[in-house]
A and B are shown apart, each in its own frame.
Chain A
Amino acid sequence: MDAMTHKATMSAADPVTFYGTEVASRLLLGTAQYPSPAILAEAIRASGTEIVTVSLRRESGAAKAGQSFWQLIRDLGVKVLPNTAGCRTVKEAVTTAEMARELFGTPWVKLEVIGEDDTLQPDVFGLVEAARILSRDGFQVFPYTTEDLVVAEKLVSAGCEVLMPWGAPIGSGRGLNNPYGLRSMRAHFPGIPLVVDAGVGLPSHAAAAMELGYDAVLLNTAVAKAGDPVRMARAFAAAIAAGREAVIADPMEVRDMAAPSTPVMGRALLGS
């Protein structure tokens, strides 16, 4: 059975729900930095993802790059999650979200309010404020946040029904910098869909996030910048499916000392 068939079989009975919308794939994929539009399209198909992130950027009169990109995404039949990438103030993020809602025709928004240049760490104060404004205005906000529980509580109070803590800084590929923090978040918000967003570099990082009980993983660079993005998309799909299957299977307890796995009873005495 190949990875895609396996995933489809497994996730058919195990969807994740974001704001009332069920999706079978637990991989959310970014659409930036691919070598070509054709490879982007093929990677999206290979990943099995049903949700891709998109952005809004200045359109040039001559090139009209945005129009062909949008056609490509629509032809793939996936849902879009518009982001507010690059926004640094509440006003910028809110206005960008409003423009995205009109353009893409969805109330979903991946809310980013960036506060620091070296780490692209969210400005969590601005994030909470923007989340409150947008939720009141009918948006369904997917906030890009940290693993800080106090911030997370405030985001939920502001109306967020999904939380997306970072694994590591955007584009760093470092994996899960703070597994303890992510585990605490999972324990603290058992009923909220949690998505590790950003910093994932390898399928093993994504599997680890799923093994922590996360509902999904959002990544971009790890696939787009791989030598073979299509193959890497497939690898991530398999890893995320494996991690999800593992958490449902209820892993064994870790112990400090060895415990023989082969039965001791019935062992032959062959020494002198």
Chain B
Amino acid sequence: MKIIVNGEPADTAAGTLAGLLAELDMADAIVATALNGDMVRAARREATAIAEGDRVEILAPMQGG
């Protein structure tokens, strides 16, 4: 299934957001997630299905001013 992860085309076999994070080796990473522009809380990732063409954002703490 083709989706967009952090602006890049990606291919995934995962059915949920939690599954996608595991696939990307980020299951335990400190990240915040959004699906199609809306935030998905960590507690909701297991229950959040992803579909063809979805846009996923995976954000981490970063330097800032």
Residues on A close to B: CB < 8 A?
Answer: 30-34, 40, 53-61, 64-67, 69-70, 73, 82-83, 85, 91, 95, 98-100, 102-104, 170-171, 198, 220-221
Top 4 closest pairs, chain A to chain B, by CB: A66-B60, A55-B64, A30-B65, A59-B60
Residues of B within 8 A of A198 (CB): 65
Task: Give CA–CA (A59, B58) in the complex, Å.
Answer: 6
Contact of A56 with B65 in the complex, beta carbons under 8 Å: no
Task: Give CA–CA (A82, B31) in the complex, Å.
Answer: 14
Q: How far is the CB of A30 from chain B (nearest CB, A)?
A: 3
Contact of B61 among A73, A85, A220 (CB under 8 A): A73
Q: Is B52 an interface residue (CB 8 A)?
A: no
Name B62's closest neighbour in chain A (CB-CB).
Answer: A57
Contact of B32 among A56, A69, A91 (CB under 8 A): A56
Name A66's closest neighbour in chain B (CB-CB).
Answer: B60
Chain B contacts with A in 25-65, Cβ cutoff 8 A: 25-26, 29-34, 37-39, 41-42, 57-65
A-B contact pairs, 12 of them (CB 8 A): A30-B64, A32-B64, A33-B63, A55-B61, A55-B62, A59-B6, A59-B59, A60-B6, A64-B29, A70-B60, A102-B42, A103-B60
Task: Give CA–CA (A32, B58) in the complex, Å.
Answer: 20
Q: Is B9 an interface residue (CB 8 A)?
A: no
Contact of A65 with B39 in the complex, beta carbons under 8 Å: no
Decide: A103 near B65, CB < 8 A? Known: A66-B31, A95-B39.
no
Contact of B65 with A59 in the complex, beta carbons under 8 Å: no
Contact of B39 with A221 in the complex, beta carbons under 8 Å: no
Name A221's closest neighbour in chain B (CB-CB).
Answer: B65
Contact of A57 with B59 in the complex, beta carbons under 8 Å: yes
Contact of B58 with A95 in the complex, beta carbons under 8 Å: no
Residues of B within 8 A of A59 (CB): 6, 26, 29, 31, 58-60
Residues of B within 8 A of A33 (CB): 63, 65
Residues of B within 8 A of A60 (CB): 6
Residues of B within 8 A of A82 (CB): 64
Residues of B within 8 A of A69 (CB): 60-63
Task: Give CA–CA (A57, B61) in the complex, Å.
Answer: 7
Give 15 new A-B contacts, CB below 8 A, not counting A67-B61, A171-B65. Answer: A32-B64, A53-B65, A54-B61, A58-B59, A60-B6, A65-B62, A66-B60, A69-B63, A70-B60, A91-B37, A95-B34, A102-B32, A103-B31, A103-B32, A198-B65
